[in-house]
Amino acid sequence: MLLRHVERESRTLSLFKLAVLISGSGSNLQAVIDAVSNGTIPNAKVELVISSRSGVFGLERAKKHGISNMVIDRKDPEKLSKTLEEYDIEGIVLAGYLSIIPPDVVKAYSGKIVNIHPALLPMFGGKGFYGIRVHQAVLTAGVKYTGATAHLADREYDTGDVLVRSVVPVLADDTAETLQKRVLKVEYKTLVRAVKALAENRIEELVKKPVTIINDEDKEGVMEFAKGLVELGKTLTEADNGD
């Protein structure tokens, strides 16, 4: 009995402590919470949720799961670094966080901040490319494929090393809204894959060989695109079976 208790304690102690930063509905946060609780990311714990805005649904999700949560104004970078330290945070997940990370946090967590972006970076990224605007820009450009990218955050917007990409075809009758919906669906597994690597200390592997997830939706057409990536020396995970 005592032994079991000790084992459980030591397992808890060794869990990789994540802070998830949000600004909105928190569906990506939910994907991370689910992946931690269903064993997809077995060695991590969502220790803290920080929102840059009050009254957002993501905070309700944190409360529902008994996760410590708070609002920290984006204009208060000191509070952000102090809080991360206070909670012994080891890795940061930016899940729809609409603000740039202060330089001292980027420095302190170098290689340990994962962001999810709703396009195939480096296309359609950078300042001003957020929310529905990203998908409007994709449609205006007339590209055939878009998707989601999990990448390391650095001091700029969307310029850090790419870790995982998911490809989504742009359909002839797509509107920015339909595209946003389909991209959001693949963001979850894209982010979870990168966060798993973060918790398992395997980020460097992904930096060297970013993974591309091809979704079942348009396997054939997308293979053409995938071949191009392979030629560029990228690692390709051909089928995504929901892992």
Q: By CB under 6 A, is residue 95 in contact with ligand GRF?
A: yes
Amino acid identity, position 224: E
- Smallest gap from residue 184 Cβ to ligand GRF (A): 5
Is residue 104 within 8 A of residue 63, CB to CB? The reply is no
Q: By CB under 6 A, is residue 28 in contact with ligand GRF?
A: yes
If the CB atoms of residues 180 and 212 are measured against ligand GRF, the closer one turns out to be 180
Respond yes or no on whether the N-terminal peptide bond of residue 122 is cis (omega within 30° of 0).
yes
- Smallest gap from residue 84 Cβ to ligand GRF (A): 20
Q: By CB under 6 A, is residue 26 in contact with ligand GRF?
A: yes
Q: By CB under 6 A, is residue 52 in contact with ligand GRF?
A: no
Task: Report how many residues bind ligand GRF under the rule CB under 6 A.
Answer: 15
- Smallest gap from residue 46 Cβ to ligand GRF (A): 14
Amino acid identity, position 237: T
Residue 167 forms beta bridges with which residues? 147, 214
Catalytic residues: 117
For 148, list phi and psi in degrees, rounded to 5.
-135, 150
Tell me, residue by residue from 182 to 201, as one string, x for binding to ligand GRF by CB under 6 A and - for no binding: --x--x--------------
Distance CA 232, CA 87 (A): 41
Which letter, b or e, does each residue of 102-138 get, where b requires 16 or more Cβ atoms within 10 Å of its Cβ?
Answer: beebbeebebbbbbbbbbbbebbbeeebbeeebbbbb
Q: By CB under 6 A, is residue 96 in contact with ligand GRF?
A: yes
Q: By CB under 6 A, is residue 147 in contact with ligand GRF?
A: no
Q: Which residues bind ligand GRF (CB under 6 A)?
A: 22, 24-28, 58, 95-96, 116-118, 130, 184, 187
